[in-house]
């Protein structure tokens, strides 16, 4: 079976002069298998967000290949990448990124609708699965940070994606709430067999992961543990 994500020799340079040692991604390679929970651990500026955005088809590489479930992103075209993103990839961000004028339920249901499912029930179930039963009609401003991130987890899970990409999912939470969110996110992904790739500069995240990829200057190296490593 194809891996969920395969990245081959990926390059991205934001520098208008194209200096190689200024590139955000410098020949990145990685594979994520089905159901794996993986930490992408590295310092600020090491290229984590750039990589996630390219995996999501939001940004495009200068060079290299990205396959999602065996399909090359370049060959899909803009429309194909949008459909893939809506149906097969879930996202979780540092600042939650919920739509402020929609309730918790509506935020989750919108994600489902965009994936082509107009049934309300999975949205209620997804909110229940993250412990938000009874808070479906609240707006993001009426929820704590941890609760908002739970809504974001429900929004990502509800479409039953192949993979969830989480960019600093606990970066805006205190450590106790962050640990609860990581426990919930990794636990639900394991329960549903959803792959999870979490970009982080927090060693805590590694404790919830099957595998640790360390990002250093735009390249990925496999690590056995990040407990001893500097952030
Ligand atoms: N839109 C952008 N324009 C120019 N430079 C960028 C942009 N996004 C990221 N960079 C640069 O690319 C490098 C990697 O950044 P980023 O992927 O955000 O790293 P991380 O998520 O690990 O903090 C940094 O040097 C950053 O300044
Ligand atoms: Mg980042």
- The pLDDT, as a whole number, for residue 106 is 98
Residues pairing with 46 in the sheet: none
- The pLDDT, as a whole number, for residue 111 is 97
Q: Quick check: 228 pLDDT over 70?
A: no
- The answer to whether position 230 is within a domain reads no
Task: Give distance in angstroms: CA of 169 to centre of ligand 2.
Answer: 10
Over the range 188-197, which residues count as b (16 or more CB within 10 Å of their CB) and which as e?
Answer: bbeeeebbbb
pLDDT digits (tens, 9 = 90+) for 5-34: 999 999 999 988 877 778 999 999 999 999
Residue in 21, 24, 39, 214 to alter for ligand 1 test, most ligand atoms within 8 A of Cβ: 24
- The answer to whether position 30 is within a domain reads yes
Query: Which atom of ligand 1 is nearest to 168's Cα?
Result: 21
- The answer to whether position 169 is within a domain reads yes
| Residues 134/86, Cβ–Cβ less than 8 Å | no
Cα separation, 45 vs 127, whole angstroms: 34
Q: What is the mean pLDDT of residues 69-76?
A: 94
Cα separation, 92 vs 216, whole angstroms: 22
Q: Quick check: 231 pLDDT over 60?
A: no
- The pLDDT, as a whole number, for residue 136 is 98
Residues pairing with 68 in the sheet: 5, 71
Task: Give distance in angstroms: CA of 6 to centre of ligand 2.
Answer: 20
CATH number of domain containing 197: 3.40.50.300
Q: Quick check: 229 pLDDT over 60?
A: no
Task: Give distance in angstroms: CA of 45 to centre of ligand 1.
Answer: 6
**Residue range of the domain that includes 82:** 5-223
Give residue for tokens 């651990």: 41
22 lines ligand 1 (CB under 6 A): no
- The answer to whether position 231 is within a domain reads no
Q: How many domains does the chain have?
A: 1
Task: Give distance in angstroms: CA of 50 to centre of ligand 1.
Answer: 6
- The answer to whether position 229 is within a domain reads no
Q: Quick check: 120 pLDDT over 90?
A: yes
| Beta-carbon count within 10 A of 149 CB | 30
- State residue 10 phi and psi, 5-degree precision: -90, 130
| Residues 204/198, Cβ–Cβ less than 8 Å | no
50 lines ligand 1 (CB under 6 A): yes
- The answer to whether position 93 is within a domain reads yes
Residues pairing with 223 in the sheet: 212
Ligand lying closest to the C-alpha of residue 171: 2
- The answer to whether position 160 is within a domain reads yes
Residue in 11, 14, 58, 220 to alter for ligand 1 test, most ligand atoms within 8 A of Cβ: 14
- The answer to whether position 211 is within a domain reads yes
Q: Whose CA is nearest to atom 18 of ligand 1?
A: 49
């Amino acid at each position: 079976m194809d891996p969920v994500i395969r990245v081959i020799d990926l390059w991205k340079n934001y520098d208008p002069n194209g200096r190689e040692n200024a590139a955000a991604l410098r020949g990145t390679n990685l594979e994520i298998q089905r159901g794996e929970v993986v930490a992408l651990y590295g310092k600020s500026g090491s290229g984590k967000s750039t990589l996630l955005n390219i995996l999501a088809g939001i940004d495009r590489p200068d060079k290299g290949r990205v396959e999602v479930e065996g399909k090359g992103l370049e060959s899909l075209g803009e429309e194909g990448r949008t459909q893939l993103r809506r149906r097969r990839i879930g996202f979780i961000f540092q600042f939650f990124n919920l739509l402020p004028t929609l309730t918790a339920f509506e935020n989750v249901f919108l994600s489902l609708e965009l994936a082509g499912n107009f049934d309300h029930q999975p949205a209620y179930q997804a909110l229940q699965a993250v412990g938000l039963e009874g808070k479906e009609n609240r707006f993001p401003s009426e929820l704590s940070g941890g609760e908002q991130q739970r809504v974001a987890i429900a929004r990502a899970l509800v479409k039953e994606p192949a993979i969830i990409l989480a960019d600093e999912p606990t970066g805006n939470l205190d450590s106790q709430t962050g640990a609860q969110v990581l426990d919930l996110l990794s636990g639900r992904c394991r329960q549903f067999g959803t792959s999870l790739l979490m970009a982080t500069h927090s060693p805590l995240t590694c404790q919830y992961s099957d595998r640790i990829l360390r990002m250093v200057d735009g390249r990925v190296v496999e690590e056995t543990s990040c407990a001893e490593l500097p952030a």
